[in-house]
Amino acid sequence: MSELDIIPYAPNFRDEVVKLAIAAWGPVLATTRNEVPGFVYEAFYPRGWEARQAADVASLLDSQSDMVWLALQDGVVAGFVGIRLYPKDQMGEIHFLAVSPDRQRLGVGRTLLTFAENEIRDCGMKMVMVETVGDSGHEPARRIYESLGYQQWPVARYFKPL
C-alpha cells in the first residue's frame, strides 16, 4: 500500500464519504441489531440504520466540514475522521471515524485517530473522547482505542420502552 495523505474534506468527496461510512459500518451495525434491545434499535433507526447514518454523516459534512479530514490513498478515500470541540470542558471528540472495508486493519484508522488527536491538541484542548457501543461488533474499535491509550469511563445507560 502506498502512503496516506490526510487532507481537509472538500464537498466534491461528499457522496464518496457517505458511501464509505455505510460500507464500513454495515457489518458492525448488523451485530449491534442483534445485541441491543430491539425497541432501542428501532427508536434510533426507524427507517433503518443506513438512512440514519447517511443523514448524520451528510449533516456533519454540510455543517462542520472544517472539522472533517480524509485519508487518501492512491487518490481514493480510504477513510475519514470528524471531530467536535467542547472548549468549556477542554475536550475534543472523535465524532465519526470510518475506514473503507478493503483498507481496514492496515493502519488507516490509527493514522486518522492520531491526526485527529493532534488537531484537537492544536485547538488547545486537554483531552480527547471517543464513544462507541459495547457490543461484539465494536470490539475491534475498542481494541484500537485502548492500544492508543484511551481509558474507558464506566457509563451505564438504561432504556425502557414506554
Q: Answer whether residue 84 shows pLDDT above 90.
A: yes
What is the separation of C-alpha 33 from the centre of its chain, rounded to a whole number of angstroms? 18
Consecutive H or E run containing 141:
helix 139-147
pLDDT in the model for residue 1: 57
For the chain, list the domains and their CATH numbers. Answer: 5-147 (3.40.630.30)
Q: Please give the sequence-ordered ranges of beta strands (E in DSSP) within the chain, or none if there are none.
A: 5-8, 68-73, 76-86, 91-99, 127-130
Rounded distance between C-alpha atoms, residue 18 and residue 57, angstroms: 6
Task: Encode pLDDT of 34-75 as tens digits.
Answer: 888 889 889 989 998 999 999 999 999 999 999 999 999 988
Q: 26-35, 48-57, 77-86, 153-162: lowest mean pLDDT where? A: 153-162
pLDDT in the model for residue 154: 78
Q: What is the reported pTM?
A: 0.87
98 φ, ψ (degrees, to nearest 5) = -145, 145
